[in-house]
Amino acid sequence: MITDKKLTNPFLLQADDLSIEDIYLIFEAADYFLDNYKPGVKFNDLKGVTVALAFFENSTRTKLSFELAAKRLSADVFSFQSKTSSLAKGESLIDTLRTIEAMGVQIYVVRHSCSGVPHFLQRNSSGIVINAGDGKHEHPTQALLDAFTLRQHFGSLKSLNVCIIGDILHSRVARSNIKMLSTLGANLGLCAPGTLLPRDLVKWNCKIFDDIQLAIDWANVLLVLRLQNERMESGLLPSMSEFSKYFGVKYPHLTSKPELVLLHPGPVNYGIELDYRLSSYPNVLIQTQVTYGVFIRMALLYLFKHSFLN
Amino acid sequence: MITDKKLTNPFLLQADDLSIEDIYLIFEAADYFLDNYKPGVKFNDLKGVTVALAFFENSTRTKLSFELAAKRLSADVFSFQSKTSSLAKGESLIDTLRTIEAMGVQIYVVRHSCSGVPHFLQRNSSGIVINAGDGKHEHPTQALLDAFTLRQHFGSLKSLNVCIIGDILHSRVARSNIKMLSTLGANLGLCAPGTLLPRDLVKWNCKIFDDIQLAIDWANVLLVLRLQNERMESGLLPSMSEFSKYFGVKYPHLTSKPELVLLHPGPVNYGIELDYRLSSYPNVLIQTQVTYGVFIRMALLYLFKHSFLN
Amino acid sequence: MITDKKLTNPFLLQADDLSIEDIYLIFEAADYFLDNYKPGVKFNDLKGVTVALAFFENSTRTKLSFELAAKRLSADVFSFQSKTSSLAKGESLIDTLRTIEAMGVQIYVVRHSCSGVPHFLQRNSSGIVINAGDGKHEHPTQALLDAFTLRQHFGSLKSLNVCIIGDILHSRVARSNIKMLSTLGANLGLCAPGTLLPRDLVKWNCKIFDDIQLAIDWANVLLVLRLQNERMESGLLPSMSEFSKYFGVKYPHLTSKPELVLLHPGPVNYGIELDYRLSSYPNVLIQTQVTYGVFIRMALLYLFKHSFLN
């Protein structure tokens, strides 16, 4: 047995569903899988458990990460996408959930372009719901893997200065990370044009930067967000190149401060929020995040099974 | 071993491919899986057997039900849909079948919008073909799960009055159920506007109702069909609301006769054939049908393997 | 253990990545799986190994063949198609590969409409890349299964006269087969209209036929290619019916030479490159090719694992 401790809640809808003890428990299980997985090793912990991947929005990395995590634990996995399902026939979301649930699915991984869909599903289901990104709201497993990546790199997040750069207003990644990294003791900063910052900045308890150089001077970690093309069309930005000029991270930004580390949830728009030359820079930990993402999701699935399905 | 009895035919194309002994044998195996499955339990009975899900028509619940059933028995499952396959290149159905067959697939689950496709495939294949719904013809596994649901609820189908309501003319669910429920001793009634009744009513040996209240007075079970939007466009119905007014099942219909039970193959058009308030009414057994559907399909796959692939 | 010999290269991008010893080793492993596979038998050789099927071009048979091969060896398999992935978001191919690789995938099976994509991916990845068809370049596993089919039928390829008929200019199947069958000792002939022959014929070292009857008189084996509709549109052919008249293989062609054997990579355009009546003619080995294709791919996956992932 990896651990006999259990998670508090039979769901993960937003970052604050996890207590600090829950987060450390997930890290402990992720450590175990990180140490013991290699090609040819398969874990039986989720044998006979069915995991539904209900992705109502395009996704490569998050969906694949959950799929691999579930398969490495021997779960039965099935994918469920709106385009190939009867949703086209007008079946409502809740009816779809009830149908899947009646078939004996135990764990639901849900991504949806509307904020709140995972919460809605969780309230109407007896299964375990994991939010894999809902609209502009939260993406808690991304925050978990970002925190785990920083913990592996720095040993601890205590007093670490983390600055989130880019379209914070529309970012579920930012929202989940602000909560989770704060819980783990990090100091948070935000750096963005005024139109891409949230209104209610006070309650977020973050330092605000409108100059990327000042942000970099302050930070131990840059968490750079993907800039969505849609933002420009909606008039929030004058142009991609202006955003890139003032808020994009350049090669000299990193080389001038050798201990500075950079995270990005991917996929990156190279040339916009990140300089092309950074794609293989050692302190850019994007591939590491992806690698740890699978172990974090194995840990999460293992702990949900162990805590609530025995 | 669950049972050493065997099925008669190495295919299930229509309801009368199953003798009454076959049906009871399937129920016996379904009972076994219903009693023994729980999260974390996996059966090895189809290990090393390949099941192809060839769905040429959109489907959520039937495809998923077969997929989960096959995976819980440890089969290798692969999905096959026309849009993502070379059918777009003009490869004919029979060539596709021969290709899949040459790869060593043993069991085919087929849904197609044209009546007779599963029969055509079965005549041209040495594999076991299961009809998962063909055009307006038959949907025999739906009838099996409907019958199993009624047998679990009432103990037996003997002398049970079952009234099918809605678009009987175009319904493969109706066609399969009329045969199978009759075989099991139920009395069948049909309730629909004249334009949605088949021409050759005499040979069906059913009571006909054109008033839903009379149907409800007579019935122990209402089997309500989904109304396809297409019917209205084709001029068979004046309007959805008129159909709903005269042939939709309302909340008081069920509350006024507490022992009356309602089935629906899903997905439901709430507000058309069923009152919204019925979605969580205890005697509406839609979720139960879905649950039993997986066990019925596990039973069927198990018995085909056990009967014909050893 | 099936064999303790190992492959030379940890990739298969084109036919000449395999030495003659490699080819015989693959045949040896394929023989083993051919002799030992039957419904209900499952091999554990790839348990805990993750195989990514990255098909950026429509495919039924090749994708399915790899999928079944991997599943019969107990690999974790996931499919990856451009339409349902974030490629639509503008993520570049190399970023996608890096992401998948960071998740711990060990083997990549890649099909792409652009020649050279598998080579590009292999150069940028530490994983094992298998080319499942790239543009007009190569399709080496098709050549392997064609060679295996001929070796099973004739015992050896030494001095066998193999004539490839059809659109050789655009055919990755032709390119891989010319190399591999030559390596195994066969004599190669090409029969096509001048517009569908490559420019640099000399270096190919093949006999050229512009009359199908002369080709048939010479050949022990006809390898007939699929004619793509696109060729006509591009002005390379005056009409399908003229191609069919002069270069299509007719029923009397085969009946007049009973030992002559015919291969086709599928899917066939019956009525264009092949007479309809040949679809069930005994010496037309198309289904046999498909059957052997799965065993060849099992052999390949097994040997890559055994040679490079232990």
C186 and C118, same domain (yes or no): no
Q: Is B231 left (phi over 0), alpha (psi -120 to 50) or beta?
A: alpha
**Please, what sign has the CA dihedral across residues C82, C87, C93, C95?**
negative
What is the per-residue pLDDT across C269-309, written as a single tens digit (0 to 9) for each?
999 999 999 988 999 999 999 999 999 999 999 999 999 99
Cα–Cα distance, A267 to C91 (Å, whole number):
6
Question: Is the CB of residue B140 less than 8 Å from the CB of residue B17?
Answer: yes
A19-33, B19-33, B211-225, B235-249: segment of lowest average pLDDT: B235-249
Nearest alpha-carbon partner for B291 in B125, B5, B64: B64
Max alpha carbon distance in chain B (Å)? 57
Helix, strand, coil proportions of chain C in percent (round to 5)? 45, 15, 40
Give the lowest-confidence range in A49-53, A227-231, A303-307, B284-288. A227-231
Residue A84's pLDDT band (cuts 50, 70, 90): very low
The residue among A248, A295, A307 whose CA lies nearest residue A43 is A295
Separation CA A47–CA A62 (nearest Å): 22
Binary contact (A60, C309; C-beta < 8 A): no
Distances (CA, A) of A161 to A196, B31, C197: 21, 60, 65
- Using CA atoms, how far apart are residues B135 and B120, in angstroms rounded to an integer? 13
CA dihedral C189, C191, C195, C199 (to 10 degrees): 10
Q: Give dist(CA C49, CA C61) in Å, integer.
A: 22
Instruction: State both tokens at B76.
Output: 């290798």
| Same domain, residue pair B158 and B268 | yes
CA A44 to chain centre: 25
Using an 8 Å Cβ cutoff, are C161 and C218 in contact?
Answer: yes
- Please, is C116 exposed, middle or buried when counting C-beta atoms within 10 Å of its C-beta (0-12, 13-18, 19+)? middle
What pLDDT, on the 0 to 100 scale, is given for residue B239?
Answer: 84
Indicate the pLDDT class of residue A91, thresholds 50, 70 and 90: low
Does residue C264 share a domain with residue C151? yes
Which of the residue ranges A151-165, A254-268, C197-211 would you say has the lowest mean pLDDT? Answer: C197-211
Residues C52 and C176 in one domain: no
**Chain A residues touching C309 at Cβ < 8 A:** 39-40
pLDDT beyond 50 at C203: yes
- Say yes or no to pLDDT of A268 above 60: yes
Contacts of B90 in chain C (CB under 8 A): 267, 269
- Among B6, B103, B135, which residue's Cα sits nearest to residue C295? B103
The amino acid that residue A214 corresponds to is L
Residue A270: its chain C contacts at CB < 8 A?
A: 92
Local structure of A308: helix, strand or coil: helix
| Side chain identity, residue A118 | P
Q: The tokens of C306 are what? A: 């055994």
DSSP-derived secondary structure for A88-131 = GGT--HHHHHHHHHHTT--EEEEEESSTTHHHHHHHT-SSEEEE
Structure-model confidence comparison of residues A89 and A191, the more confident one: A191
pLDDT digits (tens, 9 = 90+) for A96-132: 888 888 999 999 999 998 899 999 999 988 899 999 9
What residue in B sits closest to C42 (Cα-Cα)?
B48
* CA separation for the pair B302, B30 (Å, rounded): 10
Of A50, A86, A309, nearest to B60 by CB-CB distance is A86
Phi/psi at A190 (nearest 5 deg)? -125, 135
Q: Is this prediction's pTM over 0.90?
A: yes
Q: φ and ψ at A157, to 5 degrees?
A: -95, -5
Distances (CA, A) of C258 to A143, B71, C251, C252: 69, 46, 11, 10
Q: Is residue C6 part of a domain?
A: no
d(Cα A304, Cα B196) in Å, to the nearest integer? 49
Alpha-carbon gap, residue C117 to C121, rounded angstroms: 6
Same domain, yes or no: A34 and A92: yes
Q: What value does the mean pLDDT take over residues B122-131?
A: 93
Domain-embedded: residue A3: no
Whether residue A267 lies inside any domain: the answer is: yes
Residues C154 and C232 in one domain: yes
> Would you state the structure tokens that stand for residue C254, as one six-digit string?
């085969």
Nearest-by-Cβ selection for A47 from B40, B60, B287: B40
Min CA distance, C66 vs chain A (Å)? 18
Per the prediction, chain C carries an average pLDDT of: 92
Q: Are residues A102 and A176 in the same domain?
A: no
A-chain CB neighbours of B42 within 8 Å are 47-48, 76
Q: What is the reported pLDDT for A229?
A: 73
Coil vs helix vs strand at B271: coil
Looking at the domain assignment, is residue B91 inside a domain? yes
First-to-last CA distance in chain A? 13
End-to-end CA separation in angstroms for chain C? 13
Report the number of distinct structural domains present in chain A. Answer: 2
CATH code of the domain containing C279:
3.40.50.1370
Residue A171 near residue A204, CB atoms below 8 Å: no
Closest residue in chain B to residue A107, using alpha carbons only? B39
**Higher-pLDDT residue of C31, B228:** C31
CA–CA separation, B267 and C208 (whole Å) = 61
Calpha distance A167→A155 (Å, rounded): 28
* Helix residue ranges per DSSP H, chain B: 20-36, 61-72, 93-102, 117-123, 140-154, 172-183, 212-218, 230-233, 240-247, 251-255, 286-308
Q: Whole-number mean pLDDT of chain A?
A: 92
Nearest CA of chain A to the CA of B209: how many Å? Answer: 29
Query: Looking only at Cα atoms, what is the longest distance across chain A?
Result: 57
Residues A132 and A38 in one domain: yes
CB-side neighbour CA atoms (13 Å) of A57: 18
Contacts of B309 in chain C (CB under 8 A): 39-40
Residue pLDDT, tens place only, A276-288: 999 889 999 999 9
Cα–Cα distances (Å) from C207 to B120, C166, C214, in that order, read 44, 14, 11
| Backbone φ/ψ region at A166: left (φ over 0), alpha (ψ -120 to 50), beta | left
Identify residues of A whose CB sits under 8 angstroms from chain B CBs: 47-50, 76, 78, 80, 84-91, 95-96, 98-106, 305, 309-310
**Count H helices, E strands: chain B?**
11, 10
- pLDDT of amino acid A93: 79
The pLDDT assigned to C155 comes to 97
pLDDT of residue C84: 46
Give me the domain span that covers residue A224.
140-289
Q: To the nearest whole angstrom, how far is the Cα of C100 from the nearest Cα of chain A?
A: 8
The mean per-residue pLDDT over the stretch B38-67 comes to 91
C-beta atoms surrounding C185 within 10 Å = 12
**For A34, which residue in chain C has the nearest alpha carbon?**
C104
Residues in a beta bridge with A221: A162, A261
The pLDDT score that the predictor gives to residue B232 is: 66
Which residue is associated with the tokens 């190279």?
A: A270
The Cα–Cα gap between B209 and C36 comes to: 60
What percentage of chain B has pLDDT greater than the value 70?
95
Residue-wise pLDDT for B256-289, tens only, equals 999 999 999 998 999 999 999 998 899 999 999 9
CB contacts of C85 in chain A (<8 Å) are: 58, 60
Looking at every residue in chain B, the average pLDDT score rounds to: 92
The verdict on residue A216 lying in a domain is yes
pLDDT tens readout for residues A201-218: 788 889 999 999 999 999
Contact (Cβ atoms closer than 8 angstroms) between residue C73 and residue C295: no
Reported in sequence order, the residue ranges of C139-213 that DSSP labels E, i.e. its strands, are 161-165, 187-191, 207-209
Q: How far is B127 from chain A (nearest CA, A)?
A: 25
Residue C244, pLDDT > 60, answer yes
Rounded distance between C-alpha atoms, residue C271 and residue A260, angstroms: 66
Residue B265 within a domain: yes
Chain B and chain C share a number of CB contacts under 8 A equal to 80
Q: What Cα–Cα distance (Å) separates residue A105 from each residue in A67, A303, B43, C163?
A: 15, 17, 16, 54
Distance in angstroms (rounded) separating the CA atoms of residues B300 and B66: 10
Q: How far apart, in whole angstroms, are the C-alpha atoms of residue B90 and residue A58?
A: 29
Q: Please give the DSSP secondary-structure letter assigned to residue C138.
A: B
Strand A107-112 relative to strand A50-55: parallel, antiparallel, unpaired?
parallel
Q: Both A144 and A264 in a single domain?
A: yes
Angle at A271 between CA A267 and CA A273, to 5 degrees: 60
Assess whether A162 and A282 both reside in one domain. Answer: yes
CA dist C155 and C184 (Å) reads 12
- Residue B3 belongs to a domain: no
- Asked whether the beta carbons of B278 and B287 are under 8 A apart, the reply is no
Q: Indicate whether A204 and A103 sit together in one domain.
A: no
pLDDT of residue C73: 97
CB-closest option in A40, A83, A290 to C49: A40
Element (DSSP H or E) covering residue A298 = helix A286-308
Nearest to C137 by CA among C163, C176, C109: C176
Coil, helix or strand at residue B261: strand
Average pLDDT over residues C252-272: 94
In tens, the pLDDT along C100-148 reads 889 999 999 999 988 999 999 899 888 999 999 999 999 999 999 999 9
Beta-strand ranges (E) seen in chain C are 11-12, 50-55, 76-80, 107-112, 128-134, 161-165, 187-191, 207-209, 221-224, 261-263
Looking at the DSSP bridge assignments, the partners of residue B221 are B162, B261
Q: Which residues of A touch B67 (CB under 8 A)?
A: 78
CA-based nearest residue in chain B for residue C296:
B103
Residue C2 lies inside a defined structural domain of this protein: no
Residues A125 and A191 reside in one and the same domain: no
- Note the pLDDT of residue B231: 67
Residue B266 to chain A, least CA–CA distance (Å): 9
Instruction: Read off the DSSP letter of residue A138.
Output: B
Do residue A58 and residue C88 have CB atoms under 8 angstroms apart?
A: yes
Q: Which of B48, B90, B103 sits opposite C65 (nearest CB)?
A: B103
Band (pLDDT 50/70/90 cuts) for residue C72 is: very high
C89 contacts in chain A (CB < 8 Å): 58, 267
Q: Which helix (H) or strand (E) holds B133?
A: strand B128-134
Q: What confidence tens digit (pLDDT) does each residue in C149-192 have?
A: 999 999 999 999 999 999 999 999 999 999 999 999 999 999 99
Amino acid, res. B154:
F
Mean pLDDT of B205-213: 94
